[in-house]
Structures are given as structure tokens and as C-alpha cells.
Structure 1
Amino acid sequence: MTAPDRLAERRARFAKGHRGEWLAAWALRLKGYRILAQRHRTKLGEIDLVARRGDTVAIVEVKARATLEAAMEAVTPAAQARITRAAELWLGQQRDHARLSLRFDIVAVLPRRWPVHIPNAWVSA
């Protein structure tokens, strides 16, 4: 594969990721969540979406895959640990962090289907 081909493929994946996060954010908004952050970067990693409903903060990993199983398998234990550390850093910066409960969700963006929201996809250690 030539360098221009690799660049085009990388741009296509980036665009697909942005579309997936946009769809996931709207699916969560329609479920009553307020999106607090998108692609939030910390020194420990990136959080795709931070969504809040009441005192529950959902740290959401968005995966655009062909199947629900593939999306769930794509969030490996190493990715879970990285996201958990980034979320704890984010939570510590919030004024009302003591009353917030943190949850880790996955939103699977599947072809020709509405995004699938999986609450409590994993529990932090």
C-alpha cells in the first residue's frame, strides 16, 4: 500500500469515527442525557463522550463496527483501564464530584441500525 493510500484510509477511518460519535451523542441526547464533553483528552487518554443524566455520569466509548459483538470485543481490558484512569482524572476536576456516580458505557454504531447503548459495560476496579 502506498503512502497516499494509507493516508486516504486513515482519513476515512477518522471520518467514520466522527460520524459514529455524532450519532452516539444524538442517541444519548434523545434518551435524556446531556453531553458534557466529546473527544475529551487527558494526559492519561481520550474519552469519546461524557454524558450526564441526573447525578449519573456515563463515560462512553463509541465503537463503529459491523456487529454488536465486534464492538464490545473492541473495548479490550487495556482500553477499559486507560478509559477508567482518564475518567477518574476527569471526575476529580468536577466541582460536584462527590455526589456524582460514574458509569462506563459502550455505544455500538452498527450499519443501517440505530446506535445500541450498553450501560454498565464494565466496572472499574
Structure 2
Amino acid sequence: MRRVLPNHADRRRAAYRRGHRAEWIALGSLMLKGYWPIGRRVSIAGGEIDLVVQRWNTIAFVEVKARTRRDEAREAIDAAKRRRFSRAVRAWVGRNTWCAGMTFRADAVFVGAREWPAHVADAFTIEGL
């Protein structure tokens, strides 16, 4: 019997669904820690912020990465991704003046199969903020 390999579009759809699922898992785990959601999948200034959450006077901009193993997910945030992420954060802060005076942080949540999500507060620096 011949095995049919998934085409490019099928792989992209599967990755998209996996990403959505990981974001919901990450959001749920953050809410259990007392964070309140402000935004999800914010696309702005050529970049995307997976989650924007708030806890007290801190707003965390969260990058969610899902891989088979959490350790693989940690390696997925490269310099180019950090630059696009930082550009989106700066644009978001500029458009949301109500948050002036708050603390801003770039967090990451790493999701692995059958593992509890790992939340890393202040995972990287927001460039230019």
C-alpha cells in the first residue's frame, strides 16, 4: 500500500491549528496564575503578538511556541522574531495610551505535547522600548 504524504497546504493548516490550540492552552495557564487577557493574535506594524495579558500594573506581551518537546520550542525564538515582536509591541503601546506608566514585559510560553506549559517571565528584551 502506498503512503500518501501531506501536501504543503495540509501541513500549513495543521501548524495553524496546533498554534491556535497552543495559544488557548497558554492563555488558560496564564489565567490560572492571575493574568487577565487583553488581546490575542494582535497583528500590527508587520509583527504579531500572540497574547497580551495584564496582572496588576504589568502588561506582558507573550510569544507562544508549540513543539513536540518544550525544549525544542525554546529554540524557536530567533533574533528576527524578536525584532518583529518588538516592533509590534512598540506600535501596540503607542496606540494604547491608557497603559502609560505600566511595566511592560516580553514573556514566552512554551507548549509541548503532554507537558504543562512553561511560562518564562521576561524571556527577552523588548527592543527600543
Task: Tell me the TM-score normalised to structure 2 length.
Answer: 0.89
1:64 aligns with 2:66: yes
Q: Distance in 2 between matches of 1:61 and 1:123?
A: 12
Q: Distance in 1 between matches of 2:45 and 2:82?
A: 16
1:76 aligns with 2:114: no
Aligned equivalent of 1:11: 13
Root mean square deviation, CA, Å: 1.5
Structure 1 segments (4+ residues) deviating >6 Å: none
Aligned equivalent of 2:26: 24
Q: 1:72-105 CA distances to partner (integer Å, 9 max, x unpaired)?
A: 2100011111101101110111132321111001
Alpha-carbon distance change, 43 to 124 in structure 1, aligned in 2, over 3 angstroms: closer
Q: Distance in 2 between matches of 1:69 and 1:43?
A: 29
1:109 aligns with 2:115: no
Q: After superposing the two structures, state which structure 1 stretch, 26-35 or 67-76, moved more.
A: 67-76
Query: Structure 1: any 5+ residue segments left out of the alignment?
Result: none
Number of paired residues? 123
Q: Which amino acid aligns with 1:99?
A: G
Aligned residue among 92, 95, 113 for 2:94: 92
Query: Structure 2: any 5+ residue segments left out of the alignment?
Result: none
Q: Distance in 2 between matches of 1:81 and 1:94?
A: 20
Larger Rg: 2
1:41 aligns with 2:8: no
2:100 partner SS: helix
Quote the offset at 1:38 in angstroms. Answer: 0.6
Q: Which amino acid aligns with 1:84?
A: S
